[in-house]
A and B are shown apart, each in its own frame.
Chain A
């Protein structure tokens, strides 16, 4: 550009460069302005709008949003037993899915991190990532077919005189556990990878039983990773509304939000605060358990 031509007089570009010279804070600030602005406006800003909307209400006659402060929505949430049931059901399934995934994921991740050869490791990572490449909807619909009355699960259990779970809350738990498992395996795998083998050898050399080694050495070191994974499984389950709709008739928080979003946005917003509050409580408990200390 005009940089060379304007050599005697400082060009705009050079003056701009000069402005930044020796001012590291300004440099960093300018660099981060874009992403931080995106974060503040796109994420925190929309959250604030959501919070504000939750205190508004809808005029029954016209269906228009009335922008006046009221606690109506929260009173309805608190007073109607059905919403307590729905919140309890959603959080319960989220907890069950998280525990299930943690129990399934730990041995797999441990094998990948500590036992498998490099080649085996690579194959396993691909195997875990592969399901993530196919559409979420296809996977849920496949489960719907498998769980149906004449589906493969009932067919396989029939010789033993058993019956599959059918559609319902058990089906939701099964499908969600399947869907979110990779999100649990990968953080635990990464966490276990970082534990030096020498620590395990040292524990053995000092005469610890393998179980003691696991309990006193591996688990405490891998715990933050388990919590990281559980944040994924827990929050993904809290927010999902398509799986419950397809493999059960049970309502989850997301279903009620979906049903009220068109006619009563303020109520939907109030309801959307529930998972946020639950997640904050969850993170506070996780911190109490020391999940973030080694990160």
Chain B
């Protein structure tokens, strides 16, 4: 053995060896391609409800599965609830792909991906008695029904509002132009608060739909090259005026409370939290239908069942439980969104809750574009749209 080999040379040799090894590995990996990915719509819906399996594994948004209503569920059905909280729609899709979960509370920007990836089964709504009294405008929607079959149970919904500080912004804005028109936005430079997620590009598309009719934007989530570029450019112009991109509700609440933000896009949750702290915030009034004139983006969440579910009976029990009037009211009030169950409005602790959140006001929701997954085939195979990966890359470029 050569004990006195030059140490530097030896180190270089090791490094070179590692590089070669890695290149070989990278090159050879192509063999095991097990993607049968293009097939949409998977599995059969459950035909008959059997006995509970003793437990159920859920993926949910924070605040959707809380002891307040999961403990009574366990006592009633004998299904122990194992909950995994996910922070983003992307995370939910990844977790569902592991095949270890029975169901997920998916937003509209995850549902189509889950169906396309063949991870979820249609839901037999006859086995979910409470489904009947769910608000009609939440059923048969493009984000929860595919090929005419319901793929989930609506849970609740919310809209992304325009919120401003009454002391700093006057007159009260009636349009998103206050943060999206470059001239008007410059008046609040450094004090604009924007949701930090690629899906925000759709907000720009909603604005352009009204203000640039030549672009012919139909669905703000399915954008062709020209429409997408226009939306991205609008947001790039907005970026220098943005004080802060928020991703956690608490971050935005503190920004508005401390005067770091004057105007921006928000959820009902933050708006009511700030009102409760008696901050001088305002949102579009009833005379405007509670939304800026262009309408707004929003979300509508759906409980879906995995086609690999090991506890399908418990999952059906859960889907029925979560839209039980009393439970759905509890969840909605806890999280700060409109309940999906029409009977829930009689059960809320705050008697005005459903009115505040416009739960039973279809005219309000008509102007809300629920989050959808941007897909390359525009979702209906009609054309050539930008897929979600391009949205992510564009979002990085917008923030700079």
Contacts from A to B (Cβ < 8 Å): 44, 48, 51-52, 55-56, 58-64, 66-69, 76, 80, 82-83, 85-86, 144-145, 148-151, 166-167, 245-246, 249, 251, 256, 259-260, 262-264
Contacts and interface: CB of A to CB of B under 8 A. Distances in A.
A251 B27 contact: no
A293 B37 CA distance: 56
Given A48-B21, A52-B29, A67-B32, A61 B90 contact: no
Most chain-A CB neighbours within 10 Å: which of B243, B247, B389?
B389
A59 B259 contact: no
Q: What are the 3 tightest A-B residue pairs by CB atom distance, in nearest-first order?
A: A62-B37, A67-B29, A262-B90
B26 A55 contact: yes
A264 B94 CA distance: 11
B30 A62 contact: no
A154 to B, nearest CB: 9
Contact of B389 (A51, A144, A150, A263): A263
Given A149-B259, A249-B244, A263-B90, A48 B22 contact: yes
17 contacts: A48-B18, A59-B37, A60-B376, A61-B38, A66-B30, A66-B33, A68-B29, A80-B393, A82-B397, A144-B254, A150-B258, A150-B259, A167-B243, A167-B244, A256-B396, A259-B396, A263-B388
A278 B252 CA distance: 34
A249 B399 contact: yes
Contacts of A151: 258
Contacts of A67: 29-33
B245 interface: yes
Interface in B237-286: 242-245, 247, 251, 254-255, 258-260
A256 B395 CA distance: 10
Contacts of A246: 251
A226 B177 CA distance: 52
Given A52-B26, A68-B29, A262-B90, A61 B37 contact: yes
A8 B115 CA distance: 71
Contacts of A249: 196, 242-245, 399
Given A262-B91, A264-B392, 9 more contacts: A44-B18, A52-B22, A59-B37, A63-B113, A67-B30, A150-B258, A166-B260, A262-B93, A263-B389
B279 to A, nearest CB: 12
Interface string B355-389: 00000000000000000000010000000000111
Contacts of A260: 392, 396
B82 interface: no
Contact of A60 (B23, B91, B387): B387
A117 B259 CA distance: 47
A86 B398 CA distance: 12
Contacts of B399: 249, 251
A249 B37 CA distance: 36
B117 interface: yes
A14 B348 CA distance: 75
A259 B91 CA distance: 11
Contacts of A150: 258-259
B392 A62 contact: no
A264 B389 contact: yes
